[in-house]
Amino acid sequence: MAYRVLVVDDSPVMRGFIRRVIRLSGFDAAECLEAGDGEQALARLRSEPVDVILTDINMPVMDGEELMRQLSIDERLRNIPTLVVSTDATKLRVDRMTELGAQGYLSKPFSPEMLRSELERVLGCAT
Amino acid sequence: MIALDRAVLMEAVNAAVNQAMEAMFFDAAEPVCDCECSDGREMITVCLWFHDAMDGEFMLATPVPTAVALAASFMGCEPHEVDRSQAEQIVCELANIICGSALSSLEPAAELRLSSPLITPRACTEEEGAIYQHYRLLDGCLAVSLRLE
Residue B38's pLDDT is 62
**Residue A13 at interface with chain B, using a CB cutoff of 8 Å:** yes
The tally of domains found in chain B comes to 1
- Residue of chain A with shortest Cα separation from B86: A13
Predicted model pTM: 0.89
More confident residue, B52 or B145: B145
Distances (CA, A) of B42 to A81, B12, B65: 45, 28, 9
Query: Which of B88, B67, B83, B81 shows the shortest CA–CA distance to B25?
Result: B67
Mean confidence (pLDDT) of chain B: 89
Residue A124's pLDDT is 86
Cβ-defined contact of B104 to A107 (cutoff 8 Å): yes
The CA distance from B33 to the nearest CA of chain A, in Å, is 25
pLDDT tens for B44-93 read 999 999 988 788 999 999 999 999 999 999 999 999 999 999 999 999 99
pLDDT tens for B103-136 read 988 887 788 888 989 999 998 888 877 899 999 9
Cβ-defined contact of B101 to A20 (cutoff 8 Å): no
Residue B2's pLDDT is 40
Query: Which of A83, A80, A12 shows the shortest CA–CA distance to A48?
Result: A80
> Do strands B43-52 and B118-119 pair parallel, antiparallel, or not at all (unpaired)?
antiparallel
Q: How many Cβ atoms sit within 10 Å of the Cβ of residue A35?
A: 23
Query: Which of A62, A67, A70 shows the shortest CA–CA distance to A84?
Result: A67
Which stretch of DSSP H or E encloses residue B71? helix B64-75
Residue A109's pLDDT is 93
pLDDT bucket at A7, cuts 50 / 70 / 90 = very high
Query: Which of A45, A125, A118, A51 shows the shortest CA–CA distance to A86?
Result: A118
Q: How many CB pairs under 8 A join A and B?
A: 76
Residue B7 sits at φ, ψ, to 5 deg, of: -65, -45
Rounded Cα distance between B56 and B130, Å, is 10
**Statement: residue B39 has pLDDT above 80:** no
What is the domain range of residue B33?
A: 3-148
- Provide the angle, in degrees to the nearest 10, between the axes of the packed helices A64-72 and A91-99: 20
Per CB-CB distance under 8 Å, the chain B contacts of A11 are: 89, 92-93
Lowest average pLDDT, out of A36-45, A118-127, B73-82, goes to A118-127
Residue B73's pLDDT is 92
Question: Domains in chain A and their CATH numbers?
Answer: 3-126 (3.40.50.2300)
Residue A125's pLDDT is 52
Query: Which residues, numbered 37 to 66 in chain A, qualify as contacts with chain B under a Cβ-Cβ cut-off of 8 Å?
Result: 58
CA angle B111, B113, B115 (to 5 degrees): 175
Mean confidence (pLDDT) of chain A: 92
